[in-house]
Amino acid sequence: MSVNQSLKPITIDTNSENHLCVGGCDMIELAKEYGTPLYVIDEQTLRSVCKEYKKSFEKYNNIKMMYASKALCNSAVTRIMDEEGFGFDTVSAGEIYTVYKAGVDMSKVLFNGNNKSRKELEMALDYNVGRFSVDNFYEADLLNSIANEKNKIADILLRLTPGIECHTHEYIQTGQIDSKFGFDLSQVDEIVKLIKNKYVNLRLRGVHAHIGSQIFELKSFSDEVEILIKEIARINDKFMLDLDEMNIGGGIGVKYTEADNPPNIKDLADVVAEAMHKYSVNIPTIYIEPGRSIISTSGVTLYTVGSSKTVNLDGKIKKYIAVDGGMADNPRPSMYQAEYVADVVNTAVLKERKKENVTIAGRFCESGDILIKDIELPELKAGDIICVYNTGAYNYSMASNYNRVEKSAMVLVNNSQSDIIVYRESLEDIISHDNIPSRLRK
């Protein structure tokens, strides 16, 4: 079973105190030491999925693994991904700066995004980012101009929308024609002509597509490879070029609930290889850039239970259990109707308390701040710690200070050791960028 097919980190265990552990660390002790809400990343799970990706694709010699930093980007995770031999797909100056400061070889970095600013493009060129995924005509013109000013050549891929609508949430589909991302196939010739005849500071190396996220159907990837490799062959033939790079993005799904059945990483590798070998063209270098499937399963979030209430709905009793986090540290349930699974950390209560069906509510001032609807757990009491699984991806990276609540801390666990990798914000941090004009000061 692939790591992305597991609900929980591979090191999940129960100790002699009947407490859940991850990475050899007692979760109740983690909550005591670092406070809650607390993001926890299991290093062994993270490294295991990296190795699984590399082993699954090892038969394909010219494959380049890229980590989609948007899933979770901080200095410690970047270091681990670099040690595991991954490059980085970045989408902002902040992500570029993070990987740069972590000591990454910047030739292994790709800069992606649909509206890169002049400042970001200048920074990426100054830091010698290896590839730019050019998304539109405006960006091509701007990047060429900046590269010319700096007397540099920018190596680029063309971001294409291949017209594939994968079965996932509409907000995380990116490969369909009606998308804010990329050139549609009818625009390719025009941009290639401009690059070849006008934009002399751009060097076209290949094409890039990303069809979406949380994808369970492998045929979507097969279709994508077929479209892209045919397009490379067509461009090479028509414009007498020698493009040999193809970035197929990421997007393979993970298991958030027992109902989810994501594909095996090895099966993904087999589908990509099979699609590539159908065609008698020079096999280009393939970039693959998983994000969610790399980091999600390694992460859990710990919360402390607080208040509760019951509601009588025409004779049916509904119970709400509130925790000390919610939509600001995990916006996915409110944004995407995402579903999660949780356990009470002190498993001894499984024998002591009856089970009940509850809804886990967040602490924020929104009716839609619900983390988990209708989950069966032992009767929860104020002070209990619960663990929500599979929160490594798009939880911290999409977190906010809604209601002016401090962002949560993050720890890395491995071999019974825990290390802080993101400090919890303080109230002083919250106001640190505020300014009161002199005319309003007392």
H or E element, residue 207: strand 202-208
Q: Which residues contact 371 (CB under 8 A, 6 or more apart)?
A: 323, 325, 326, 327, 330, 333, 340, 342, 360, 361, 362, 388
Beta-carbon count within 10 A of 17 CB: 13
Phi-psi map region of 315: left, alpha, beta (phi>0 left; psi -120 to 50 alpha): left
Measure the CA–CA gap between 146 and 246, rounded to whole angstroms: 25
Token look-up 């005849």 returns: 197
Q: What is the DSSP letter of 285?
A: E
365 is catalytic: yes
State which amino acid sits at residue 30.
L
Phi-psi map region of 350: left, alpha, beta (phi>0 left; psi -120 to 50 alpha): alpha
Q: Which residues contact 208 (CB under 8 A, 6 or more apart)?
A: 110, 112, 133, 157, 158, 159, 160, 182, 246, 247, 249, 287
Token look-up 């825990």 returns: 418
State which amino acid sits at residue 358.
V
| Cα separations in angstroms, 101 against 86, 97, 111, 127, 183 | 16, 6, 16, 11, 32
Catalytic residue among 73, 166, 365, 387: 365
Q: What is the DSSP letter of 313?
A: E
Phi, psi of 335 (to 5 degrees): -85, -45
The residue among 158, 157, 176, 156 whose CA lies nearest residue 166 is: 176
The residues with which 389 forms a beta bridge, in sequence order, are 300
**Residues recognised as catalytic:** 365
